[in-house]
Each structure stands twice: as C-alpha cells, then as structure tokens.
Structure 1
Amino acid sequence: MFRLVDRVSAYTLDQFLVFIAVVDCGGFAAAARKLGRAQSAITYAVRALEEQTGLVLFDRAHYRPQLTDAGRGLLPRARLLVEDLDDFHRHAEGFAHGVEAAVSLVVNEFVDQGLVIGALDSLRRAYPSVRVRMAVKPFGDDIEMVRAGQATLGVVAAISSLGNEFEARQLVDQALVAVAAPSHPLAAIRGPIGLGQLRGQMQIVWTRNITVTDSTDLGVHALDAWHVTDLNAKLHMLRAGVGWGSLPAHMVQEDLAAGRLCVLDMESWEGRDRMPSVSSFVIRLKKGVPGPAARHLVDALLAKGGAPK
C-alpha cells in the first residue's frame, strides 16, 4: 500500500493535462499557447512525466512530436484519469450544494413509463452523479412506499384519497381502452356493444388480491371473469383471445397499431357513455424538504405530463 502511495504521489494532475494537451494540439508550442504558459514549462512537465515513468512518450526527431508506442498506450489512461478527477470534482461540488446522492422513485404499474423515463433522462443530464432507484408497484403499495419513506417520490394512479400527509401534483389523465383480440367474438360486432353482449363473454380483470373476493372490483361486466394481479399477464391473455378487458391506452397502442388487438366500442361503462380514465399524480411527503435533484425530477415529470409546474 505504501509503495503504491509513493508511486502515485510522484505524478501530478498537471503532468497529465500537459501530456494530453501536447497530443491534442499537435506540438509543444501549440500546447503552451492553449494552456497560456511558456513552452519551457510544457517541455519540463513532459520530461518530468517521462522520467517518472521511465519511458519516452514522444519521438522528437520529427517536425512535430510523435507519440511513441508507450505514449500511445498511456494516452487513453491519462485521459481516463483526468475525466475521473473531473467527475470527482463535479460530484463533490454537487454534494456541497446539497445535491442528493440518490433519488428513490416508485411508479404505479398503470402509469405510462415512457413519461417517467423521459423525466429520468432529464434528471440524468442535469445531475449525472445522482443515482436512481425505481420500483414499479400496484395500487396501495406505491403510496405506502412513499408514506414509509422508502421512496422519495411516487408517480401514482389515484383511485382514492391520498391523505393529508402528501403533497400531490396531477400529471395526466390516462384513458382506459376496452380491447380484445381480432379473433374474439366481440371484435366482430359492428357498432356500440351493449352490456347484455358483454355478460356472456369471459372478462380478464386486474385485481390486487386473488385470495379473497374483492368487492371493490371496478368495471366487471361479465358473468364469468378471470382475475390476474399483473397487467402484463392480462395483456398476454387478451392477445391470445382468452377474453376481453380494459387496459391503459399507452399499454395497448402498439398492439392496436399492429393489429394484435381491436378497440371495443362500448355503449356505456358503469352508467357513463365513455370509458373512464385514471388520473396520475406525482407525490411526496409534506414533511421534509426535497433536494435539487428531486425538485428537478418533479418539474420534468410535470413538463412531460403537460401539467403546469
């Protein structure tokens, strides 16, 4: 360990910066102009680096110095060292200004993840040092993670009151679409489909819990229904023609475009003349002050969702 410290301490960051500048500028004089130094200082720094490595880094027999094999081999490592030190400085500067080391996010499975990923990309570009931990959870579990402090922010699809402990900002209303495979009997019906026509066809229903009868199931119109706890499993069943059901529009848009699913024209849905929608919100606990990265992520989510900041 001490031998390593002795070897490393013999080098300076300036030596690597000068070495790279000579290569990039094509010569000692040009590097001196770029760095605003005397050419003798550039020459000294390179010679010091050569002495400490025991290698000749430049062939000076030509009009312009040429990298030797050793110089070409060490150049990418010198660049990496400088980049890592610059990254270290940016991380340290960020922490000094209160930037979080990490932001944790929980996303409801009904939410359009394209919106979330777009906002996360904005966060990555603005705060590259901040790590992100993201979980995808169903109704209830998403809100509970924020309430328990396991997630800094939640992007939730609200179907009930969130509670006074949360600050909530609405993002978008996500429409639900009733769909079935082209081979399904309901897909052959032209015109609005009445409730009587739905009752005799198997419906695939998303539910939180399959161990008990869930009296809060919404939108169940068929006499026979299969319940699943995973939206992707429901989507696969619908593609296979097992039954019909509703899903968020963003989940089925590619299948509709490719002809794997068809939109069912519903005459009514739970007493309304149109399909319902699910509102999504970005939430956080009111207690505590969000850091710069969390605030940026909230603003990016609102911008992606088209909501006012």
Structure 2
Amino acid sequence: MHDHAPASGGIRGGGNRRLLATSLAITSVVFVVQVVGAILSGSLALLADAVHMLADAAALIIALIASAVAARPANDRRTFGYRRAEVFGALANGILLIGLSAWVAVEAILRLLNGESEVKGGLMLTVAIVGLVANAIAMWLLSAAQRTSINVRGAYLEVMGDLIGSVAVIVAAIVILTTGWLPADAIASLLIAAMIIPRAIGLLREVISVLVEGTPAGVEVGDIRRHILETPGVVAVHDVHVWQLTRGMPVFTAHVIVADGAMTDGRAEEILTSLQSCLAEHFDVAHSTFQLETAGHTEHDDATHA
C-alpha cells in the first residue's frame, strides 16, 4: 500500500493521517447532527444519510488504522505486523452497513404503504445542507492527498458518495416544502440505501477474499508465471501462491527450478534478484519469496498448488 504525503501546502499539506483525522472529526460531528435532526424532523431520509455518513466515518477509521499499523513493527508473534486489523475493521463495517441499510429500506417501504408521518421539511433541509457543506469540506481536505495515496483515495470516494446522498435529501426536502408531497422523504431514503448496500456487499466480498487468501483482484497468476519463466536461468515454476494481507499488500511465494549449475556457479543470487525485481516492478508485489531448486529436486507441498 502506497501512502505518501501530499505535496500541497496549507491545511491540506499535512500528513495523510492528520488529514484523515480531521475529516473523521468533521464526519463524526455531522453524523450526530443528522441523527438528532432526523429524530426532531421525523425524516427517514436524514436518518438514511446519517447511516451513509456512518459508512464514511468507518471508512476513515479503517484508513487511519491502515496508516497507523503500517508504522508498527512486526514481532515474533505477529511476523507480518498488524495489517489484518484493517480487514477485521472492514468486516464489521460491512455487516453493520448492510443491517442498517436493510432497516432503512424496510422502514421506507412501510411508510410508503401505510402513509407518511409528519416531516418537518425546513429542519430537514437545514440539516441536509450542513451535511452537504461538511462533505464538501472533507473532500477538499482529501483532494490533494488522494492523488498519491490509495488509502486516502478510498476515503475520498466514500465522502463523495455521501455528498451525493446529501443532495438527495436536499431535493426531497425542497419537494416537501414546495409541494407538501411527503413520500419524497421515503423515496430519498430508498435511493440512499440503494447506494450503500452494493458498496457494503463489495466490501464484504473483498474482505472474504482476503481472509480465504484468494488471489487479489486484477492479479493474473498466469501473467506472473510467464514473467518468471522468461527470466534467464529459470527452467520451471510450481507451487505458486498469491494472496494479500490487506488491501494493497499482496504476498507471493513460488518454487522455481533453475538451470543446471546455477546453484553452484553463482548465478542463483542474480536469478533471485531478477525475480524479485520483476514482481515489484510489473505487479507491485513488494513481498515475494522464492525457493530455488535444481531439476532433481521433486519436493511438492501437495497436488493442489498452482
């Protein structure tokens, strides 16, 4: 995972962790404001937007965890460090989002079927505008850093999604104030829930892929194997494994059979350097482990490896 500090000056020129923490503070305050506003105004759309804001807060927390754990050293009990903390945080986030979004959707449908309760459009509009402004500020804070950090980029996209949700609430509030058509609140709630659920499902799919040590999205094992076989001195490759500790941190291992004499004439070190450089440059795999073998070495872990 690449996490470089942005080059811009001013408040946006701080470290990525500082920018994420500032955005999280803004998001958390507005989340509370939206929940209170939803209760006082009777707006389900505001509550749905608060759930969306909760998703942003969770994404920012995960991004902060990812930045923090990257600085923690590995030890004898956590030989890869604490990278998986991000994955478990994302798992909890995905489950929570699906549960809350499903509740919002059911409540919206019930309101449409049974008739809308009173919604205070003026208060709903005011709180929605506060959410819109807060999201715009958070996006502005993250705009420079998201160009250089995949970690911040994810948080930036989350905030952008919530800004769209705030726009939906504002439109619904204006409809209620100008026409008195209360179902607009429930319809806006359904639209926001529809934006959240696919994102939460996608997040859970990614988490499950990491936990079962599946091949990272966009990585083609066949392409990696081809690059390895094109390396001078390599005869064959087997027992190939590619997985990731967390998003953006792939790990690779393989057994590589080298040409006769390579292990004794000094070429082994050159071959190993070439293989590791190849994976780092072409596939962005910084952590790779190769076991070099001679043609007479026939040990395999089992028959299920690639």
Q: Name the TM-score class by shorter chain.
A: under 0.3
Structure having the higher strand fraction is: 1
TM-score between the two structures when normalised by the length of structure 2: 0.26
Larger Cα Rg: Structure 1 or Structure 2?
1
Of Structure 1 and Structure 2, the greater helix share is in 2
**TM-score, structure 1 length as denominator?**
0.26
